[in-house]
Amino acid sequence: MSEGIIYFIFVALIGGVIGYLIGKSSCAKRSSCNEGKKGTHELHIDQREQLNKESTPVSSESKEVGKKPTLLSEPREGEKDNLQLIKGIGKVSEKTLNDLGIYYFYQIANFTKEEVIWLNSAIGAFPGKIEREKWVEQAKELVKNSK
């Protein structure tokens, strides 16, 4: 009985290693996995980091050039807005926005069209997510209600 379990674990382990190696080699054969796309494939996170450093990324949906908004290095006095109050922003999106330097509703409320294009590219969200979910309008409402 225990020999059967040990044999099963051994076969599963060998199968997993072989599967990993096959996947790795198929990615290497394709040169650079999604070369030319500005995505967030886990093997190419450096593309996303490079995009965040650029001041004028290109929107993949319309080829318009965006403008990097004014970003903060950290929240003032350690306090930041709960960006998850905006429909469409969850924990992951909020962390990404914070990592970029966006901590407050007023920042999102003041985005221009060009800055929204830049942000769409920088966060790697589904194209047009910010416009579809009306982040700017929701943020304006939250700023207005907080006064």
The DSSP string of 7-58 is HHHHHHHHHHHHHHHHHHHHHHHTSSSSTT-----GGGHHHHHHHHH-SS-B
The one-digit pLDDT tens for each residue of the chain (147 residues) are: 678 888 888 778 887 878 777 776 655 554 444 444 444 444 434 444 444 444 444 444 445 457 888 888 999 888 999 999 999 999 999 999 999 999 999 999 999 999 999 988 888 767 788 999 999 999 999 999 887
pTM of the predicted model over 0.85: no
